[in-house]
Amino acid sequence: MTNFSVELPMMYGDHHVKEVRRVLFETEGVKEVYASSSFHTVNIDYDTKKTNQKKIKAALEEAGYGGELAIPLEPSIPVTEREGEKYFRHTTSSTQTGNIIGFEQNVNYQGRSQWPIPGMGILDVAKTQTEES
């Protein structure tokens, strides 16, 4: 029995752990699998007479768990300043980091109070807005 570990950045959720375990246990010779979505790592015990690391890695690759996890990056130009693009949120440039940030959204007043807040009761949005004006 031989043991080895593989890093799988594409295994980032418990549903991926289940799928990786299924794929590996369907591979002949694999005896034990410990997969962690937190650490993006799978530890595999296998019989060297029935399979090898190359076959195991090929099975993972075929199932879509090879390669790096693609993480989209915010572009350096705010959405509001790009020509011809529609936008639905406001972005701004942070002077501290030099990056574009923003999750603000303008929502029109709907004429109703907000939900109760423990220890504060119901917020009266109209009263709060008139106090700020």
Convert the pLDDT of each residue in 19-36 to its tens digit. Answer: 999 999 999 999 999 999
Determine which helix (DSSP H) or strand (DSSP E) holds 130, and give its type and residue range: helix 125-132
Q: What does the pLDDT read at residue 94?
A: 60
Distances (CA, A) of 30 to 11, 14, 21, 84, 128: 19, 20, 10, 54, 63
Residue 131 has pLDDT above 70, yes or no: no
- What is the DSSP code (8-state) at residue 39? T
Cα 20–26–27 angle (5° rounding)? 95
pLDDT digits (tens, 9 = 90+) for 79-98: 667 776 655 555 555 666 66
- Dihedral angle sign, alpha carbons of residues 88, 89, 95, 97: negative
Please give the domain boundaries of the chain with CATH numbers for all domains. 2-62 (3.30.70.100), 79-132 (no CATH)
Per-residue pLDDT band at 121 (split at 50, 70, 90): low
pLDDT digits (tens, 9 = 90+) for 34-64: 999 999 899 999 999 999 999 999 999 888 8
Q: What is the pTM of this model?
A: 0.54
Please report, for residues 67, 120, 133, the alpha-carbon distance to residue 125 in angstroms, rounded to integers and kept in the order given: 49, 13, 12
